[in-house]
Amino acid sequence: MKVNVINEGIKYGIIGGLIFLLINFGAWGLGSTATFVSAISISSFVPYMIVILIIVGLSLRKQNDNLLTFQNALKFAFVAYIVVALTEAIGNYVLFNFVDHDLTAKVFEISKDKALKMMQKFGASDQQIDEAMKKMDADSKQTTFKTVFLGLGLALVWDFCKALLIALVIRKEEKFAD
């Protein structure tokens, strides 16, 4: 193997993490919590990490005589996702607990309003809406260390699935003659 896939995964994980921090703190810096929530929602659906990892993975394969085993492709993609997930967790914890203490409550209220409108749009009964709102009100309105890192664990499960798919796309095994 000519290319160290772990180092490349770390490098592009840092790049992806910095992109996330730029989006996250940039959206927060615009001043409006509604803008912040919208930007974060949109950025979570934009597959920028998938695109980056596929392009870089194909480049790594090319640098390695156009061969990249599934194992090395998976290592590269998942290491990058681990670095991004850690960066996201730390960045969110800092933003919600040190930079803007009230942000969790503000985001919660916007989320609650959106859930209410969605339930009304889909014709939920008043009783169902009241139960859902009571349940939401009972939830914690703080972003704790436990919450952030529980989210990190769940994100890593999803990220591993994405890394598997990326590895399937960028891998190219050596063909053996019959």
- Answer for the pair 160, 84: CB distance below 8 angstroms, yes or no: no
- Three-state SS at 66: coil
Extents of the domains making up the chain: 5-170
- Mean pLDDT value across residues 155-163: 96
Written as six digits, the tokens of 92 are 């969110």
Q: What pLDDT is recorded for position 162? A: 96
Q: What pLDDT is recorded for position 140? A: 65
- Three-state SS at 176: coil
Residue bearing the bigger pLDDT, 92 or 130: 92
Q: What pLDDT is recorded for position 145? A: 85
pLDDT digits (tens, 9 = 90+) for 70-127: 999 999 999 999 999 999 999 999 999 999 989 988 998 888 888 888 888 888 888 8
Angstrom distance (rounded) from CA 104 to CA 78: 29
- pLDDT confidence band for 1 (50 / 70 / 90): low
pTM: 0.86
Angstrom distance (rounded) from CA 72 to CA 5: 6
Spell out the residues 6+ positions from residue 87 whose beta carbon is closer than 8 angstroms to its own. Answer: 13, 14, 16, 17, 18, 20, 21
- Mean pLDDT value across residues 47-70: 95
